[in-house]
Amino acid sequence: MKIAVVGSYGAGLTMRVPRAPVAGETLTGGVFASGHGGKGSNQAVGAARLGAEVAFLTAIGRDQFGAAARRLWADEGVDAAQVRDTDAATMVGFIIVDDQGENRIAIAPGALDELTPADVEAFAGRIAEADLVVVSLEIPLPVATAALRIAREHGTRTLLNPAPAAQLPAEAWDWIDVLTPNSSEARVLTGGDPEDETSPEELLDLLRRQYTGTIVLTLGSEGAIVDDAGDRFRVEPVRVSDVVDTTGAGDSFTAALAVALSRGDALPDAVRFAAAAGAHTVGIAEVIPALPRPDDVAALLRSDR
């Protein structure tokens, strides 16, 4: 299984609080932690932990966060040889997690804004030799679409995790083989309000007007709905006893789905495997410590029968 990931790295600065503060309020009693983040890096590490050979492209600063990132990738076996070093600060995300495990995130992109389509062209060899390319949208949109285009030119299967959601150029839809939005992201992709009440089935219908590939619409604690060329089915959630922190669950899901598809799993089995990976992640605080290994996923699947 060879997977190429084009996406983000950032330092995650997390504050756990009983509840999120309202505007103008200072809330005490929080517990602080810092760690690795960025959707692309999380997905790269997640795929490597599940057994894939992973090459990663992003941009980081020449600072303490960038140095820590390189140590992480070396420790996890992620090939980061073509990660770009810049004079801008490494991306930082500020995360507030309440006692229900829900999170709120603000991001300063920093070095990610320095990443260009030319960097993706230089990464084309890794894309060409991969079984699948994973792309997310915390990087500049032209970089993400360049990765999808180059993958299509080389005949490499693509998976787009459209987070944070953005309107895609019309031509980019033809370069996506698997699309994995959540409900709010699907609403943005179809030109709607991310806060409206469109049902999952309606969202899939709207996406089908502009996209012909495989859609895996993630529904959090309600599982996922898959639409594969009009064949639509639900994948039930994998239950965990306690939700500690939902941060990183989507990245864990994406990484596991990429691994399962790369090794040839049937689509229902691949989505079920991804659901178990995401479920494992919500039961552990912070992202990197919560990304599962194969035995973790297997144990959850056995217990959820």
**DSSP 8-state secondary structure symbol assigned to residue 157:** E
Phi then psi dihedrals of residue 178, to 5 deg: -130, 130
- Read off the amino acid at residue 206: L
- Is it true that the peptide bond before 164 is cis, omega within 30 degrees of 0? yes
Tell me the β-bridge partners of 233.
226
- Read off the amino acid at residue 154: H
User: Going by C-beta distance under 8 Å and a sequence separation of 6 or more, which residues neighbour residue 37?
Assistant: 9, 10, 11, 12, 93, 95, 248, 287
User: Going by C-beta distance under 8 Å and a sequence separation of 6 or more, which residues neighbour residue 160?
Assistant: 135, 136, 137, 144, 148, 176, 178, 179, 180
Distance CA 253, CA 230 (A): 22
296 is catalytic: no
Q: How far is CA 92 from CA 96, 111, 172, 183, 210, in A?
A: 13, 10, 28, 25, 34
CB atoms within 10 A of CB 264: 10
Of 251, 269, 295, 296, which one is the catalytic site residue?
A: 251
Question: How far is C-alpha 106 from the geometric centre of its chain's CA atoms?
Answer: 16
Distance CA 268, CA 274 (A): 10
- Between strands 224-228 and 214-218, the pairing is antiparallel
Active-site residues, by number, are 251
